[in-house]
Amino acid sequence: ILCLWFGCCEPMSSPVIDVTIMCCGVPKRSMGWYHAKQLVEGRVPNARLTDIVEPFLLGPAKDTEASRDFSRWVEEKTTDVVVFPSISAMPTPSETKVMIISGRTSDNPRHFNDAVDHGFKQIYLEKPGASTVDNLEAMKAVAARNGVSVVVGFNRNYSRYVKLARDVWPVVPPGSRLAMGRNDGLAEDKLDECFERNAEGMLKNMLIHEIVVLVSFFGVRSSSVKNVLTDKYQTARETRNGFTDFRRIRVTLEMDDGLQIDLWGDRCKSEHAAVLVTAPGFEMKTVRPDLELSRLAAEIEEHEPGCPAYFYLQDAEYISLKQRFVEHIARGNTGTPEGCAGLDEAIEGLKLCDIVNDTVVSDLSV
């Protein structure tokens, strides 16, 4: 029901696609683990988790409580899932086998290249994929040379509130203005860890979701940005444990066609996202969570307490994105499925992040 609610395809009666996860991570904390959880619970039709490659928890961190938590979860919750300390230890994959790469952003280009070298032809890469445009462009070249299909995990493309806004966008009156953003609901005492763990920065780690939605569905391109206006009163940049980043930001993008886009985000306010479309005599606002999503998220949390709130809110989106990819593969298709973001969208997204970051940092220094 959750998959269909987010507009995903009907499950196919097609061959099951095997999946490997690179960097599963710690239960109830890591995105890789949540992918694994959904797969082992059978919530992604036509997909089966067969292997986990865990180089950190079975390597440098093997004597930690986090490693023991991971091993205990594998033993108690999985069946016939083989765990490897490195990708070189696992057999060569089939042409259709999917690799989900869910490591830290700075490590993912290396994991990506290792997966391609090992023979993987189908890769689901957690967003933003890499920390720099140069890294993503190099990965795109590697994928093209080796015939590798890549989906990047921008699940916001499947959000209900985004779909409602993009469905109406083609018919809005001239002179429309678009506002998009979100708060992440992070506790103040978690900011230090957040700055370190997401060293690529708030734009590339958090607001990249909204930026890629703009690229995917609203025609926004880095080459079309005429000006970036910084709202200094709604923007704050801090240094924590040697890492400098935004804790909140608000900017307006002025595009060369006259469109104005307000982009905003806050690490620490209550979990909330919205799209606002305004024009003379017209206004439409869509939000997340709505009442139905709040109810569904509460049900999931009741059965699996202790996870970050966004795991529950985005649960169905994660399923939809994985299901769309495996169905695409099962049909014998290559490339990126329609509606999913690939490396092209990820590259354009990082270009926009760089434009916004450079302008705002300069504005704040004045």
Domain with CATH 3.30.360.10 in the chain: 156-296+338-365
pLDDT tier, 13 (very low <50, low <70, confident <90, very high otherwise)? low
Interior angle at CA 315, CA 311 and CA 320, nearest 5: 140
pLDDT of residue 25: 97
Respond yes or no on whether the N-terminal peptide bond of residue 289 is cis (omega within 30° of 0).
yes
Residue 110 to residue 130: CA distance in whole angstroms: 10
pLDDT mean over 54-67: 96
pLDDT of residue 7: 42
**pLDDT of residue 1 exceeding 50:** no
Contact 107, 131 (CB under 8 A): no
| Alpha helices per DSSP H over 252-314 | 291-303, 309-313
Positive or negative, the CA dihedral 201, 202, 208, 211 is: negative
**Domain 156-296+338-365 classified CATH 3.30.360.10?**
yes
pLDDT digits (tens, 9 = 90+) for 208-227: 999 999 999 999 999 999 99
Fold type of domain 17-152: Rossmann fold (3.40.50)
Q: At what angle do helices 160-168 and 208-217 cross, to 10 degrees?
A: 30
- Residues near 272 by beta carbon (within 8 Å), at least 6 away in sequence: 182, 183, 185, 287, 288, 289
Residue 61 to residue 298: CA distance in whole angstroms: 33
Mean pLDDT, the chain, rounded, equals 93
Residue 238 to residue 236: CA distance in whole angstroms: 7
pLDDT of residue 363: 97
pLDDT mean over 138-166: 96
**pLDDT of residue 264 exceeding 60:** yes
pLDDT mean over 318-337: 96
Residue 149 to residue 167: CA distance in whole angstroms: 27
Q: Whole-prediction pTM value? A: 0.93
Compute how many other C-beta atoms are within 10 angstroms of the C-beta atom of residue 227: 11
Contact 29, 68 (CB under 8 A): no
Element (H, E) at 182: strand 177-183
Domain with CATH 3.40.50.720 in the chain: 17-152
Q: In what order do the strands lie in the sheet with 82-84?
A: 82-84, 47-53, 17-22, 98-101, 122-125, 149-152
Element (H, E) at 135: helix 133-146
Interior angle at CA 265, CA 264 and CA 271, nearest 5: 130
Question: Token pair of 276, please?
Answer: 């606002």
End-to-end CA separation in angstroms for the chain: 52
pLDDT mean over 190-215: 94
